[in-house]
Chains A and B, each alone.
Chain A
Amino acid sequence: MRVAPAPEPDPAVDTAVRLGGLRFRWGPGSPPVLALDALSIAKGERVFVEGPSGSGKSTLLALLSGVAVPEAGAVEVLGERLDRLSSAQRDHFRAHHVGYVFQQFNLIPYLSMVENVTLPCRFSQRRRAAALRRSGTLEQEALRLLAHLDMGEPGLGSRPVTALSVGQQQRVAVARALMGSPGLVIADEPTSALDADRRVSFLRLLFDECRDSGATLVFVSHDAALEELFDRTIRLGEVNRVAGRGGAAD
């Protein structure tokens, strides 16, 4: 299971994400879904990525998390050129440096709440070490994060995670994404399953925790109401030169 570790990101670089001359299609022969001339996100920045269906949001996230590589162009995350890494190295990079929150059903049903939060530490020594530095044990660190996200109520942890409410599940997912302080947190419409009044409070918690750990936040949503809470908005429909021509996935 060991592969050559991905090189460590250069802490001196102050850009978290830099894309240039990017072109992507899902396979040879299929239509291009993303073409970006240049896009960069600063470290610690909280960015709102907005766009209609087919504007390439999923593709962008796949590129940033290292699941996909572009046909042409550069994908630089935390100073690392992901387009130059092997798929195993990209998987390692993601394990070490990326926290990911899905739209919903983020949790592995057969693991407890704390086990779900500490899951990234099973795949990344680096995040394990960071968590241990912070709290002494993985469980302590998970409980600390959960408490910050208003999930510290005793009794919650003993319930199966499938019995938690959607909002609670999303907060556990945020705790997992932040476990071991990854440099980049990607959230793929994490509030779409929440009630309108819960979204803002959820976002505040997410922001606080990202600031605390110094993580850059890339937040994808089509809910324009949330946009004003972020440092900046990237309108993918405007910057993606192939947008609107029918991307493969939204």
Chain B
Amino acid sequence: MAILGLAWKSLRNRRFTAALTVASIALSVALLVGVERIRHQAKASFTNTISGTDLIVGARSGPIQLLLYSVFRVGNPANNVSWQSWQAIAAHPKVAWTIPLSLGDSHRGYRVLGTTLDYFAHYRFARDRGLELAEGEPFADLYDAVLGAGVAEALGYQIGQSIVIAHGAGDVSFARHDDKPFRVAGILARTGTPVDRTVHVSLEAIEAIHSDWQGGSPMPGQSVTAEQARALDLTPKAITAGLVGLKSRVATFQVQRFVNDYRQEPLLAILPAVALGELWGLIGVAEGALLVVSVCVVVVGLFGMLTALLTSLNERRREMAILRSVGARPLHVFALIMGEAFVLSLTGVVLGLALLYGLLAAVQPLLESRFGLFMLLGLPSASELLLLAAVVLAGAVVGSIPAYRAYRLSLADGLSIRV
């Protein structure tokens, strides 16, 4: 304890360089723990994109492809699911509810999703959160649209506004369904999922706007007006994919087999959690790299401490000799430098954590609204504490280098003062 007291006073005497060292450790620790926390939150919000759905059904392709276009609105399906097959799945005795999804159109770069009111009733994300309307109502009329929060905010749309849907998924589209404009009926509350970037309309609406189309372009001379379309049979012929909720989870594999073995059409049913895990495994490489980089930054910070302690040793040889003269053993000298390294890295870790919490408190609203990341200001998690302990330990290991050098010097110098 006597030695730690000396270490503290010695550092206080060199407070400028000590403060610089502590600052570099603190910054690197804030970065490390910040990255760790964002990693966890990103993974959590990624796996929270969809929940409560037991199976995702689509045309037979790869599980990740199906997940990407049905949940993340990324990419396009190779094939559709016929309405008959979908009806057969919906009629399976173990199925509690279904949400059909029809994709293919867009509005100013945002995907348009044709679905039913079941979407608003059964879609779940982030464990068990349902969709909520921030304003307006779900679609009641054929030409009603419900916007995700991100769409409404980015385009500045309000209830009652008229919008035109473009054919195809591109940002710039030349084929537009401008003869059948939609009215914004509702705006969803923010979810932090791809739902925010989606324009929702009814399945029948998708059918209606394509009633006079064939093979991706309007049929010449056969235009159907918006009002005429209302009278047509708007039962869809096919959908892109669908979400299935079961009465009991126990039946998951049974229904999955039913879909995968479906005779009339090659279909695929996937478990969302499994596919999400697979997809994260692909993305996870990047977040692993991020962690490696921030670990390297901590190593650089500790090297700063090593340099500061090593360069101080030569000018402190007199101090070592004085300590030896009053009875300090070379081991005490070792402990003195180790104590300084310990105080520096511990202070760095504590300050770094404080810095991170301060930053998080400041940017939390932005992270939540922009990226849907909920950064909780809770106590450090077990893995974060482990990282922090590892930094202090690494600080001690780094400190042992100058400490050992001081030990050797003081053993060689004894009481003679060589400066």
Minimum C-beta distance from A88 to chain B (A): 6
> Are B328 and A91 within 8 A (Cβ)?
yes
* Known interface pairs A110-B9, A111-B9, A123-B2; A62-B327 also in contact (CB < 8 Å): no
Q: Using CB atoms, name the residue of chain A closest to B319.
A: A108
B contact residues around A100 at 8 Å (CB): 325-326, 415
Please count how many residues in chain B sit with their CB below 8 Å of the partner chain's CB atoms. Answer: 27
A contact residues around B330 at 8 Å (CB): 91
Q: Which residues, 84 to 120 on A, are CB-close (under 8 Å) to B?
A: 87-88, 91-92, 94-96, 98, 100, 102-103, 105-111, 115, 119-120
Please count how many residues in chain A sit with their CB below 8 Å of the partner chain's CB atoms. Answer: 33
User: Per a CB cutoff under 8 Å, which of B13, B322, B326, B335 touches A95?
Assistant: B326
Which 8 pairs show the lowest CB-CB distances between chains A and B? A95-B327, A110-B13, A67-B414, A123-B327, A100-B325, A122-B2, A91-B329, A120-B326
User: Per a CB cutoff under 8 Å, which of A88, A96, A110 touches B12?
Assistant: A110
> Are B329 and A62 within 8 A (Cβ)?
no
> Are B319 and A67 within 8 A (Cβ)?
no
Indicate whether B324 reaches chain A with its CB closer than 8 angstroms: yes
Indicate whether A61 reaches chain B with its CB closer than 8 angstroms: yes
A contact residues around B416 at 8 Å (CB): 58, 62, 249
Indicate whether B124 reaches chain A with its CB closer than 8 angstroms: no
A111, B414: Cα distance in complex, Å: 21
Indicate whether A166 reaches chain B with its CB closer than 8 angstroms: no
> Are B10 and A65 within 8 A (Cβ)?
no
**Secondary structure of the B contact surface, majority rule:** helix
> Are A1 and B327 within 8 A (Cβ)?
no
Minimum C-beta distance from B335 to chain A (A): 8
Q: Using CB atoms, name the residue of chain A closest to B335.
A: A1
Given A91-B328, A102-B417, A120-B326: 7 more A-B contacts, CB < 8 Å:
A1-B331, A58-B416, A61-B415, A67-B415, A102-B415, A110-B10, A123-B332
Minimum C-beta distance from A188 to chain B (A): 8
Indicate whether A233 reaches chain B with its CB closer than 8 angstroms: no
Indicate whether B318 reaches chain A with its CB closer than 8 angstroms: yes
Q: Using CB atoms, name the residue of chain B closest to A93.
A: B327
> Are A102 and B331 within 8 A (Cβ)?
no
Indicate whether A124 reaches chain B with its CB closer than 8 angstroms: yes
Chain A proximity mask over B333-353: 1 for CB below 8 Å, otherwise 0: 001000000000000000000
Minimum C-beta distance from A96 to chain B (A): 7
Q: Using CB atoms, name the residue of chain B closest to A90.
A: B329
User: Per a CB cutoff under 8 Å, which of B319, B328, B415 touches A123?
Assistant: B328
Minimum C-beta distance from B14 to chain A (A): 8
Q: Using CB atoms, name the residue of chain B closest to A162.
A: B13
A contact residues around B321 at 8 Å (CB): 102
- Looking at B13, B325, B414, B417, the one whose CB has the most chain A CB atoms below 10 A away is B325
A249, B327: Cα distance in complex, Å: 23
Q: Using CB atoms, name the residue of chain A closest to B11.
A: A110
> Are B9 and A106 within 8 A (Cβ)?
no
A180, B10: Cα distance in complex, Å: 24
* Known interface pairs A1-B332, A67-B414; A123-B9 also in contact (CB < 8 Å): no
A contact residues around B326 at 8 Å (CB): 95, 100, 119-120, 122-123, 176
A58, B415: Cα distance in complex, Å: 9
CB-defined A-B contacts under 8 Å, sample of 25: A1-B332, A58-B416, A65-B325, A67-B414, A68-B414, A91-B324, A91-B327, A91-B328, A91-B330, A92-B327, A100-B326, A102-B415, A103-B417, A105-B318, A108-B319, A108-B323, A110-B10, A110-B12, A110-B13, A120-B327, A122-B2, A122-B5, A123-B326, A123-B332, A249-B416
B contact residues around A92 at 8 Å (CB): 327, 329
B contact residues around A102 at 8 Å (CB): 321-322, 325, 415, 417
Q: Using CB atoms, name the residue of chain A closest to B15.
A: A110
B contact residues around A110 at 8 Å (CB): 9-10, 12-14
B contact residues around A120 at 8 Å (CB): 326-327
Minimum C-beta distance from B323 to chain A (A): 8
A62, B321: Cα distance in complex, Å: 12
Q: Using CB atoms, name the residue of chain B closest to A65.
A: B415
Q: Using CB atoms, name the residue of chain B closest to A179.
A: B326
Minimum C-beta distance from A24 to chain B (A): 13
A contact residues around B329 at 8 Å (CB): 1, 87-88, 91-92
A109, B12: Cα distance in complex, Å: 11
A contact residues around B414 at 8 Å (CB): 62, 67-68
B contact residues around A91 at 8 Å (CB): 324, 327-330
B contact residues around A1 at 8 Å (CB): 329, 331-332, 335
> Are B322 and A106 within 8 A (Cβ)?
yes
Minimum C-beta distance from B104 to chain A (A): 75
B contact residues around A98 at 8 Å (CB): 327
A122, B335: Cα distance in complex, Å: 14
A88, B5: Cα distance in complex, Å: 22
> Are A67 and B324 within 8 A (Cβ)?
yes
User: Per a CB cutoff under 8 Å, which of B2, B322, B415, B417 touches A108?
Assistant: B322
B contact residues around A111 at 8 Å (CB): 6, 9
A contact residues around B13 at 8 Å (CB): 109-110
Q: Using CB atoms, name the residue of chain B closest to A62.
A: B414
B contact residues around A61 at 8 Å (CB): 415
Q: Using CB atoms, name the residue of chain A closest to B12.
A: A110
Minimum C-beta distance from B377 to chain A (A): 38
A176, B326: Cα distance in complex, Å: 9
> Are A94 and B9 within 8 A (Cβ)?
no
* Known interface pairs A58-B416, A110-B12; A96-B327 also in contact (CB < 8 Å): yes
